[in-house]
Amino acid sequence: MSTLHLVAFSPSRTDLLAQVAACLGENDEVVLLEAGVFIAGNAAACATFTGTRCYVLQDETVLAADGMAAIDWATLIALTESHPRCLSWWP
C-alpha cells in the first residue's frame, strides 16, 4: 500500500530526514512544501529521496531540483486522492 509523504521541515532537520527515509516504501511519493522546499536546494538532503518520486509545490518555490517535478494545488489534491495513506512530516 503506497503512502504520500508531505514533508514540511527544513533540510537542517537531519533527524527527521532519517525518519522519512526509514519509512519510505517502494511505491511511496513525497511532496515538499513550506520549509520542506529548501530540501530541493540541498544535495545531501535530496539524496534521502533517491529512487522515490518527489514533487515540489510550485506555490512555495520557483525551481525544483533535478528529478523533482513542480506541482500545483490541484495536482497535490489528486495525489492525496490516489494514495490510500498520507503521512505529514511537520516539525
- Give me the domains of the chain, ranges plus CATH numbers: 3-89 (3.40.1260.10)
Residue 65: what pLDDT? 62
**Distance of alpha carbon 68 from alpha carbon 70, whole angstroms:** 7
Average pLDDT over residues 14-19: 93
**Distance of alpha carbon 51 from alpha carbon 61, whole angstroms:** 22
pTM: 0.89
Q: Is residue 57 within 8 Å of residue 37, measured between CB atoms?
A: yes
pLDDT, greater one: 63 or 11: 11
Tens of pLDDT, residue by residue over 27-69, are 999 999 988 888 888 888 888 888 889 999 886 555 666 678 8
* Other beta carbons within 10 Å of 72: 11
